[in-house]
Structure 1
Amino acid sequence: MKIGELSRQTGVTVRLLRYYEAQGLLTSHRSAGGHRSYGPEAPALVGRIRNLLAAGLPTRIIRELMPCFVGDGSELQECVLDHLRAQLAELDSRMSDLGRARTTLSGILDASTRAVAP
């Protein structure tokens, strides 16, 4: 299928599909005229990429994970699960840091609001 068709099927812009390809997440074949052509598995691959991006994973990690999917689903091989657990722990840590920052900022706003109130 051509890039425009893949874009329509997946709801992902042509520009973003080109970016995925440049990042090594998606592959295409070029016709004699230079047009990209994707295999029938491309929509599922784009879905996996979108899912992993939504999980907050950077493209360099996604590139490493793409060959590790089991079958056509979203299940990954056991050998990469520790890597995902580490990513989850990092996300939990960042969320904790953000929670503390929010509490501090809220306290500053509360104190400032009380000081300004008549």
Structure 2
Amino acid sequence: MQAKEAAEKLGISQRMLRHYENAGLLSVGRTVNGYRHYTETDLRRAARIRDFIAIGFSTRELRAMKACLADEGAGPCEGGIERLTEKLTHIDQLQADLDLRRNAVLQRLTALRRDLAVAS
């Protein structure tokens, strides 16, 4: 199938498909007239790439996880559990940082409201 149909089927833009290819994550065949031609295998790989990006992986990180993107890597893949665990740890650290910031803003807001009430 051509890029437009593949993108629609995956729920992403054609530009994203080209980005996956330019990042070295997806290698797509071409028709005789030069158009990209996506196979079902390409679509499954692109869907995995899309899903990993959606949960926070960068294309750089995904290049190190190529085995997890292929059909053979649809199940357990070398380093997959370790990399997902690392990503989860990173997300937990980000969440903790956001919680600290949120609490600081709430404290500041409470103090400002209290000071306004006293001044009134």
Can you list the C-alpha shifts for 1:67-96, whole angstroms capped at 9, x where unaligned?
A: 235746743314332222122111111111
| Residue equivalent to 1:89 | 89
Aligned length: 118
Identity %: 31
Alignment check: 8 A CA contact 2:45 2:71 kept: no
Unaligned runs of 5+ in 2: none
Unaligned runs of 5+ in 1: none
1:57 maps to 2:57? yes
Deviation at 1:105, TM superposition (A): 1.0
Amino acid at match of 1:60: R
67-76 or 82-91: which moved more? 67-76
30-39 or 100-109: which moved more? 30-39
Pairs within 5 Å for 1:8-19: 8-19=8-19
Can you list the C-alpha shifts for 1:39-83, whole angstroms capped at 9, x where unaligned?
A: 221221122112111211111112222323574674331433222
RMSD over aligned Cα atoms? 2.1
Alignment check: 8 A CA contact 1:23 1:59 kept: yes
Runs of 4+ in 1 over 6 A off after TM superposition: none
TM-score, normalising length from structure 1? 0.84
TM-score, normalising length from structure 2? 0.83
1-side partners of 2:70 and 2:82: how far apart?
Answer: 16
| Residue equivalent to 1:67 | 67
1:46 maps to 2:52? no
| CA separation of 1:53 and 1:61: change in aligned 2, threshold 3 A | same
